[in-house]
Amino acid sequence: MISLARANLIHDWQRHVTAIVVLVLAGLLMTTQLGLVSGFAESSSELQRQLRADVVVIPTAGTSIRRFGRRGAIPTRRVGQIWMHNDVEFVQGYSPRQGSGQWLSEEGSSEFVLIYTMDPGEDSMTFPRRFPESVRGVLATQGMVVLPRSTARALDVDVGGSGEINGTTVVVGAIVDGLPGGFRRPVFASPQTARELSSSRTQRSFRSYLVRLKEGADVSRVIAEMNQRLSPYGLQAIRPQEYAAGQGITELITSSFGWILIGSAVFGLVVGCGIASQTLRGAFLAQLREFGSLRALGISRARMAAVAMEQAVLTGVVSVPIAILLSHAARVGARQFDIVIALSSELVVGTSALLLLVALIAGVISLTAVTRVEPAELLR
């Protein structure tokens, strides 16, 4: 047997469709805004997620070589402490970003780019897992760079094309997929080419060290033992996944664009919740004559309150799957423009719960008017 609330929603659907549409748009706004924040952090750390290391050694938070989320260079004299573990096979310094500059195309247009170092050697742990092996030879050639497809599209250049970075001519040797540029323009080069492009001196120290373990080594045990040895020196050993997550969060909270995204997400949450709750409340108040009819038939105020709350819940339940579907469509569309909207299951569940909560709050706010309605409302 169908409930009174559902019967009313079905019979008078034209009145309630406006509230549902507003709830859907509010859910879409909240989900995509938060997804943009997560996507910025994800795209900022994609390079770190593809490292070929088993362990990453970084400064411990709060030490003299790590302040306010920024890591300083690890003294080279501490590298020996990493090598002292019996299961360590290879250690490599890692400071990915070498510098930045203006890409000047042959047509005269200019674009700001970030220069990232990538060692093409066979034992290199900085060479991304998703890169084709043929890219190693390209990077090893002096003066050649590798571009993500998003950067190549933004610079309007193809394989074999050339450009000028900080006064030095470079040739595009390969274009790769799997590393979204997002809101930046990364350019990958070997350490030798990167130093030439950024006009920096030979790097003698690094902000982190990548560690490859011997085959069969227990990573968790090695990390625990290394941390006992490294903690007195202000260093810690973590897994690459943790390192990548930390890099993404650090980039998010230390960059101006990250704060812009966070601010827009907060604004989207406030606006989405406010508009949705007011629209839904208006839809409930428009039914006062119907509730007056129920009161005239002798229906108790408690029963009318239950009907109103059930309508609020059903309106939210109908809106949630539509909002999720549209959010995934927006994610796919944004991907075509190299914008990452990361819709994790936790984020989708959280925004869906928030949308239902907004509907419930709107229903609760409307209860005051609903429970006070009298049969005289029919005469107005």
According to DSSP, the residues that pair with 102 across neighbouring strands are 112
Q: What is the pLDDT of residue 213?
A: 95
CB atoms within 10 A of CB 330: 18
Two tokens, residue 356: 């239902």
User: Hey, what amino acid is at 281?
Assistant: R
If you average pLDDT over residues 366-380, what whole number do you get?
56
The confidence band for 366, taking pLDDT boundaries of 50, 70 and 90, is low
If you average pLDDT over residues 305-332, what whole number do you get?
84
Q: Tell me which of 281 and 288 has the higher pLDDT.
A: 281
According to DSSP, the residues that pair with 90 across neighbouring strands are 212
Q: What is the pLDDT of residue 296?
A: 62
Q: What is the pLDDT of residue 322?
A: 92
The span from the CA of 164 to the CA of 97, in Å, is: 18
The span from the CA of 13 to the CA of 20, in Å, is: 10
Q: What are phi and psi of 150, to 5 degrees?
A: -65, -40
319 closest CA partner among 279, 377, 378? 279
The confidence band for 95, taking pLDDT boundaries of 50, 70 and 90, is confident
Two tokens, residue 334: 């944004």
Q: What is the pLDDT of residue 361?
A: 80
Q: What is the pLDDT of residue 184?
A: 72
Q: What is the pLDDT of residue 379?
A: 44
pLDDT in tens, 101-156: 889 887 778 888 888 888 898 889 999 888 889 899 999 999 999 998 888 888 88
Flag whether pLDDT at 329 surpasses 90.
Answer: yes
Q: What is the pLDDT of residue 283?
A: 67
| Residue 56 neighbours by CB under 8 Å, 6+ apart | 94, 208, 209, 210, 211, 237, 238, 239, 240, 242, 243
Q: What is the pLDDT of residue 55?
A: 96
Q: Tell me which of 161 and 372 has the higher pLDDT.
A: 161
Flag whether pLDDT at 293 surpasses 70.
Answer: no
Q: What percent of the chain has pLDDT over 90?
A: 23
Per-domain residue ranges of the chain: 4-43+257-379, 52-239
Q: Specify the DSSP element, H or E, that contains 15.
A: helix 13-44
Sign of CA dihedral 273, 274, 277, 279: negative
Most confident range, picked from 4-18, 92-106, 197-211, 355-369: 92-106
Which pairing describes strands 208-213 and 168-176: parallel, antiparallel, or unpaired? unpaired
- The overall average pLDDT reported for the chain is 80
Cβ density class 137-165: b for 16+ within 10 Å, e for less? ebbeeebbbbbbebbbebbebeeebebbb
If you average pLDDT over residues 371-380, what whole number do you get?
52
pLDDT in tens, 172-187: 999 988 676 656 788 9
If you average pLDDT over residues 271-289, what whole number do you get?
70
Looking at residue 201, what DSSP letter applies?
P
Are 19 and 215 within 8 A, CB to CB? Answer: no
The span from the CA of 340 to the CA of 184, in Å, is: 12
Please identify which residue in the block is written with the tokens 């819709």: 343
Q: Tell me which of 356 and 89 has the higher pLDDT.
A: 89
Quickly list DSSP for 267-306: HHHHHHHHHHHHHHHHHHHTTHHHHHHHHHTT--HHHHHH
Enter the pTM of the model: 0.72
Two tokens, residue 358: 């907004």
Q: Per mean pLDDT, which range of 89-103, 296-310, 328-342, 348-362 is the poorest? A: 296-310
If you average pLDDT over residues 39-48, what whole number do you get?
83
Q: What is the pLDDT of residue 219?
A: 94
pLDDT in tens, 243-277: 988 888 887 787 777 788 888 888 877 877 777 77
Q: What percent of the chain has pLDDT over 70?
A: 79
If you average pLDDT over residues 275-291, what whole number do you get?
68
Flag whether pLDDT at 202 surpasses 70.
Answer: no
If you average pLDDT over residues 346-359, what whole number do you get?
87
